A and B are shown apart, each in its own frame.
Chain A
Amino acid sequence: MSRSRWPSSRLIGPLLVLAVLVLAGVFAATHMVVTSDVTHFLATMDDPEEADLVAGLADSELSRTLVVSLGVADSATAARASEAFAAIVRTNPEVAWLEGGVRPDVEQATYELYFPRRFMFVSPEPARDVPVLTSDAGLTSAAQALQQMFADPMGAALKRLAPADPLMLFAALLKRFDAARPGDLALEDGRFVTHDGTHAIVFLGTKHSPLDAAAQEPLLAALDDARAEVSAQLGVPVILERAGIHMFGVQGRRAVESDITRISIISMSAIVLLFLWLYRSLRIFLLANLPLVSGMLVGIATGLAVFGRLHGLTLAFASTLIGVCIDYPIHFFSVHVLGELGRTPAQTLAHTWSGLWLGALTTIVGFGALAASGLPGLGEVGVVAASGVLAAIVVTRVVLPPLTSPVTRALPHAERLARRFERLIHAAGRHRKVLMVLSLGAVALGVIALPFLHMSDDLGALMKRDPALVAEDNAVRARISGVEPGRVIVALGASEQQALHVDEAIAERLARAQAAGQLGAFRTLTSFLWSEDLQRQNLAAITAARLGERLEPAFVAAGFRAGVFAPLHDALAAPPPAPLDYHALMASPLASIIRPFRIEVGGQVGFLTFLQGVHDPDALAAAIADVPGARYIDQRRFMNDAYVSYRDHAALAIGLGLIAILALVAVRYRRRDMILMASLPAIGGCGLTLAILTLAGVELDLLHLVSLLLISAMGVDYGVFMAETRAGGATGATFVGMLFAALTTLLGFGLLAFSDNPAMSSIGVTITVGIIATVLLAPCALLVYPEAKHQPERS
C-alpha cells in the first residue's frame, strides 16, 4: 500500500486540512449567532425602509405581547384567578412585564401629570378651537355646561376641580383617555375581565422574540403550570387560552423537530445499512461523511466570518445544498472498491479526480451565483454553500486517499451489480433513438411546462398553523375586541418630537377617514401625548385668551359667585410646567398604556397607530400619503409582496447559476456531444421535475427553486462522472456510485416529502422527483452519444 506509497510525510497535507477544519469548527462554535428575523432574510432592495419597519414591528412590544385568558365561572373568581396567576407568572425570567388590571395609582398619576398641564392639552388644533372655546359666547356656554355638570349626578365627582378648571379641560382629557383604553374589557376588583365576567385577561410581554421557540417553550409550559396551581388554589376549574405569535413559533419548532427526528432516524439507519451492504465497511461510511461534515463546518465558519451572523433559513438552505457533497466520496469509493485488486487510493483518485473537480467546480459556480445575487438571505446561502462545497472537495482530495486502504478484496455483489448495469446500459444502447427522444422529451416537457407553472405568492403557505391554535388565538382576540393584528400606521421621525408631529398629522387624517366610514376606530398615542410644540401652542392660545380677566364676569353672569375662581387665576399666573414628554409618561404608572405605541427602526423613532375595522386599506393609505414620515403597514401584504419579489429575484439568480454551470461545462468540453452528455441529466432532470410538479398542480415556492438548484448540481455531477469515466471502463462502477449517491440523497432529503411541514415537504417532493429524473437521464445521455470519447481537452 500504501505505507510505502503514502509515507508519513504525506500525511502533512491531511493533517493541515484537519487542523483547518478544527479551527473552522472552533470559530463556528464560538462565533455562532443565528437570527430568525424572516423580514431581513426576505428583504430586497425594492423597499428597504419598509422592510426595516416590518422588522421593527416584528420585534416590537406589540408582537412580544401574549394575551392570556383564564376561563372561570364568574367575574369575582376571574379577578381572584387573575391575581393569583399574575403573582406566579410575574416572576418568570422570560416575562418582561405583566398587566392584569389597572394599577391603583394610575388615577392619581393621571391627575398629577395632566391637571397642571390641562391648558396644554386643549385641542389638537388650538388656533382654530381655543378662540371659539374662550370667546364670550364660548365662556357663557362653558358656564352653562358647568352648571349642568353640577346638576348632573355623574358630574359631581369633578365639582371639586371646577374652581381651578371651570372649562372642564381635565374632564375632557379623561374622556379621551377612556376612549383610548386597550380592548373592550371590564374591571373586577381592578383586574381585567370580559364583560360577561367569565374570563380574566392578562397581558404579558416577553423578553425574547415570540418566534424564539427555545425561550418561549418554557414560558408556555410555565403558563400551563400556573393555571394548574391557580385552579388548585381556588378549587375551581380554570381554562387557559392564549393569543400571540409565541404559540405558533413553538408549535412550528415542535412539528419540524418531530419530523426531522423521525425522518433522520429512518434515513440515517437506511443509509448506514446501504453503506455496509455495498462497501462492507463502516470505515468507508465514516470517511464518506467527512467531506459533508467538513463542508458544513467550513461553510458556517465562512458565513459567520463574512456576515457576522447567519439566519436560521440560511443554515437550513445551505445544509440542503451542501448535501450534494455526498456525491464526491461516494464516486471515489465506488470506483475504488470496484477496481482491480491492489489498486491504490492514489490510482483511484487519478482516475476520478477530473470528474470530481469538475463536478465540484460547477457546483461552486452555481452556488456562487446565489452569493452574487445581491439578495441578503440568498447571498448568505450562496457563500455558505459554495465555501462548504469547496471544503468538501478539498477534503475528498487531500484527506480521504491517505485514510483509505488499497483494494485488498473483491466485492462480488457490487461487481455483479456493476456488470448488470453495464449490460443494461449496453442493451439500452440498442434503442438510441428512443433514448434520444426520451432525453430531449424531458427537456421539451420542461420547456412546455414553463408557461403553466403556478408560483405561490403566499408566504403563509410555507407555514402550517395548527387549526386548534388558530381557533384559540381568534377566540381570545375576540374577547378583547382588540385591534386588527398586522395593520398599523407608523409615524417615523429622527426624534420623538419629530415622530409626534407626524403622529398628530396622522391622527387628524384618521379622524377624517373614520368620519368618512373608511375606518372603524383607531388607537393613537396622541390620545395621551402631544408634541411639545403643540402643547406650547395650546398654552399660548389659552394665555392669549386672557381668561383671568374675562372668565369670571361671564361665569358670574351665568349664576356663579364672584371670587370662586381664584385657583384658576393662580394657575394662569404661575409659571407653566414643562411640556409632558414620552419619558415622563414612561416613568409613571401610565407606562404600561404607553409602551406598545413605540418602536425603533433603523435609528429612527416610530409611533404606532393601531387600526380597527379597516374597510378600505387603499383609501386609508392614500389618506396619509401626503404626511411625510407616515407609513401604512399591512404586515401580511408586505411579507407576501417581499416574498414574491424575493422569489422572483431568487429564480433569476438560480437560473443564472444554472447558465454558469453549463457555461463551465461547455468551456471544459468544447464539444457539443460531450457538453450535452454532461449537462443533459441536469437540464432534463430539472425540466422533468418542473413538468411533473406542474402536472400535479403543485404551486412552486422558494424551496422548490432551491431544491431545483440542488438537483441541477447533482445532475451535472452525474453527467460529468459518466462522461469522465466512460472510456476508462468504469461505467458500471460509476453508475453504481451514482445510483448509490442518489439513494442516499433520496433517503436524506426525499423522505422530507412525508413531512407535515409544507416547507420541508416542498424540498422532499422536489428532490425525490428530480433525483429520480437525473438518475434515469444520466445513462441516457451516455447512450445518445456512444461515439463520444471521454478524453476531452484538459483545461
Chain B
Amino acid sequence: MRYALACFLSLLTVVGHAAEPTPPATTLDTLLAAFRAAPGVEAHFTEQKNIAMLAAPLESDGVIYYQRPGVLARYVMHPRESFQIIDPKRVRMGDAQHSETLDLSAKPQVRVFVESFVTLLSGDQAALAKTYTIAFTPAIEAHPERWRLQLTPKLAPLDKVIASITLTGSGIVLSEMRVLEKGGDETITTFTSVNTKRSFTNDEKAKLFKP
C-alpha cells in the first residue's frame, strides 16, 4: 500500500504538468512551482509490474484523474475493471461487484505519503526532503532534453520497502515512472494523453471521485 501510494503521489505530481509548455530550463524549482498551477489532470496509463513471485509480468492500463486539492482517482480498464480513489483521509477501492473504504488516519505510516503528495503540490522542497533524498538531473546524458527526478526514501518504514522512485520527463512532461522495491520487484508506468488543465463538472466529480 505504501509503495502504491508513493507511486500514485509521485505519478500525480509529475503527470499533472506533463502537458505544460516547456520552460526554458527545467529545474526542480520550476517543476515544483508548476505543480501548484494544475487545476486537475487526466491521463492514460499503462503499467507493468515485474514481480518475482509471478512467472509473467502483470500488465494493466486505465485512466487517472486528479482534482485539486488532493483527490486522485485511478480507474483500471484492463485486464479487469477496478478503481481506487484516494484522498488525504481515506481510500475507497473496489470493482463493479463490491467496494470498501480504508481509513488512512488509522494507518499513519501510509498517511505520510499523502502528506508527501501535499508537500509536493505545495512546492515545499524542504518538507519533501524530510521524507526523501532528492536527486534531480536536469539533463540525462544519453537524452539531454530529458530530466530525471530520483526520490529515495530515508524514513522507516518506507525505506524498508521502496528502494527508489525514478521519474523521467521532458520539460515538465512526465513520460515514465519506475518504482524499485527493496526485494527487486519493479513497477514501470508510462503516461500518454495527458491533460493538465482538466476541470471537472459537478456530475463528473460525483461520478469519478465518489462512485
A contact set with B: CB distance below 8 Å? 102, 107, 147-148, 150-160, 162-163, 178, 181, 185-190, 193, 195, 556, 559-561, 564
B128-161 residues at the A interface, CB under 8 angstroms: 161
For A159, give its contact among B84, B91, B185 (CB under 8 Å).
B185
Q: Does B54 contact A (CB under 8 A)?
A: yes
> A159-B185, A561-B52 are contacts. A152–B89 as well, Cβ < 8 Å?
no
Docked Cα-Cα span, A653 to B54, in Å, equals 81
Chain A residues positioned under 8 Å from B77 (CB to CB): none
Complex interface: stretch among B22-30, B103-111, B193-201, B203-211: B103-111
> A153-B5, A154-B4 are contacts. A559–B55 as well, Cβ < 8 Å?
yes
For A188, give its contact among B1, B60, B102, B105 (CB under 8 Å).
B105
Check if B56 sits within 8 Å of A186, measured CB to CB. no
B44-77 residues at the A interface, CB under 8 angstroms: 49, 51-56, 58, 60, 74, 76
Q: Does B2 contact A (CB under 8 A)?
A: yes
Chain B residues positioned under 8 Å from A147 (CB to CB): 54, 58
Docked Cα-Cα span, A559 to B105, in Å, equals 35
Chain B residues positioned under 8 Å from A559 (CB to CB): 54-56
Closest to B162 in A: A156
Docked Cα-Cα span, A706 to B1, in Å, equals 67
Q: Does B82 contact A (CB under 8 A)?
A: yes
Check if B106 sits within 8 Å of A186, measured CB to CB. yes
B contact set with A: CB distance below 8 Å? 1-5, 7-8, 49, 51-56, 58, 60, 74, 76, 80, 82, 84, 89, 91, 93, 102-103, 105-106, 108-110, 161, 183, 185
Chain A residues positioned under 8 Å from B3 (CB to CB): 153, 156-157
Check if B58 sits within 8 Å of A151, measured CB to CB. yes
Check if B54 sits within 8 Å of A187, measured CB to CB. no
For A162, give its contact among B53, B55, B80, B84 (CB under 8 Å).
B53
Chain B residues positioned under 8 Å from A181 (CB to CB): 106
A515 to chain B, nearest CB (A): 16
For B93, give its contact among A152, A157, A162, A560 (CB under 8 Å).
A152
Main SS of chain B's interface residues?
mixed
For A153, give its contact among B7, B89, B106, B185 (CB under 8 Å).
B7
B145 to chain A, nearest CB (A): 30
Check if B52 sits within 8 Å of A157, measured CB to CB. no
A192 to chain B, nearest CB (A): 9
Chain A residues positioned under 8 Å from B8 (CB to CB): 153
Check if A154 sits within 8 Å of B106, measured CB to CB. no
Closest to B82 in A: A152
Chain A residues positioned under 8 Å from B84 (CB to CB): 152-154
A83 to chain B, nearest CB (A): 14
Chain A residues positioned under 8 Å from B80 (CB to CB): 148
Closest to B103 in A: A186
Check if A564 sits within 8 Å of B161, measured CB to CB. no
For B54, give its contact among A148, A154, A158, A560 (CB under 8 Å).
A560
Docked Cα-Cα span, A193 to B93, in Å, equals 24
Docked Cα-Cα span, A160 to B161, in Å, equals 9
Chain B residues positioned under 8 Å from A160 (CB to CB): 161, 183
Docked Cα-Cα span, A409 to B84, in Å, equals 102
Check if B54 sits within 8 Å of A186, measured CB to CB. no
Closest 9 CB pairs of A and B: A153-B4, A186-B105, A157-B1, A187-B105, A156-B3, A154-B1, A564-B53, A156-B4, A151-B58
Docked Cα-Cα span, A564 to B52, in Å, equals 9
> A102-B106, A160-B183 are contacts. A152–B4 as well, Cβ < 8 Å?
yes
Check if B49 sits within 8 Å of A154, measured CB to CB. no
Check if B106 sits within 8 Å of A187, measured CB to CB. yes
Check if B2 sits within 8 Å of A157, measured CB to CB. yes
Closest to A160 in B: B183
> A157-B1, A187-B108, A195-B89 are contacts. A150–B60 as well, Cβ < 8 Å?
no
Docked Cα-Cα span, A548 to B40, in Å, equals 50
> A150-B58, A154-B4, A156-B1 are contacts. A190–B53 as well, Cβ < 8 Å?
no
Chain A residues positioned under 8 Å from B1 (CB to CB): 153-158
Check if B55 sits within 8 Å of A154, measured CB to CB. no
Residue among B51, B74, B93 facing the most chain A CB atoms (10 A cut-off)? B51
> A153-B1, A155-B1, A156-B3 are contacts. A163–B53 as well, Cβ < 8 Å?
yes
Chain B residues positioned under 8 Å from A163 (CB to CB): 53
**Could you give 17 example pairs across A and B, Cβ below 8 Å?**
A147-B58, A150-B49, A150-B53, A151-B49, A151-B58, A152-B82, A152-B84, A153-B1, A153-B4, A160-B161, A160-B183, A178-B102, A187-B105, A187-B106, A195-B89, A559-B56, A560-B54
Chain B residues positioned under 8 Å from A157 (CB to CB): 1-4, 110, 161
Closest to A101 in B: B108
A556 to chain B, nearest CB (A): 8
Check if B60 sits within 8 Å of A151, measured CB to CB. yes
B30 to chain A, nearest CB (A): 29
Check if A154 sits within 8 Å of B53, measured CB to CB. no
Docked Cα-Cα span, A185 to B53, in Å, equals 37
A188 to chain B, nearest CB (A): 7
Chain A residues positioned under 8 Å from B161 (CB to CB): 157, 160
Check if A560 sits within 8 Å of B105, measured CB to CB. no
Chain B residues positioned under 8 Å from A185 (CB to CB): 105
Chain B residues positioned under 8 Å from A156 (CB to CB): 1-4
Chain A residues positioned under 8 Å from B52 (CB to CB): 561, 564
Docked Cα-Cα span, A186 to B74, in Å, equals 24
Chain B residues positioned under 8 Å from A107 (CB to CB): 109
Chain A residues positioned under 8 Å from B56 (CB to CB): 559
For the complex with contacts A152-B93, A156-B4, A181-B106, 9 further pairs of A-B residues with Cβ separation under 8 Å are A153-B5, A153-B74, A154-B4, A156-B1, A159-B53, A178-B103, A178-B106, A559-B56, A560-B53
Closest to B182 in A: A160
Chain B residues positioned under 8 Å from A193 (CB to CB): 105
A569 to chain B, nearest CB (A): 15
Docked Cα-Cα span, A152 to B84, in Å, equals 9
Residue among B53, B82, B185 facing the most chain A CB atoms (10 A cut-off)? B53
A149 to chain B, nearest CB (A): 10
Docked Cα-Cα span, A293 to B31, in Å, equals 89
Chain B residues positioned under 8 Å from A190 (CB to CB): 108
Check if B54 sits within 8 Å of A561, measured CB to CB. yes
Chain B residues positioned under 8 Å from A556 (CB to CB): 55
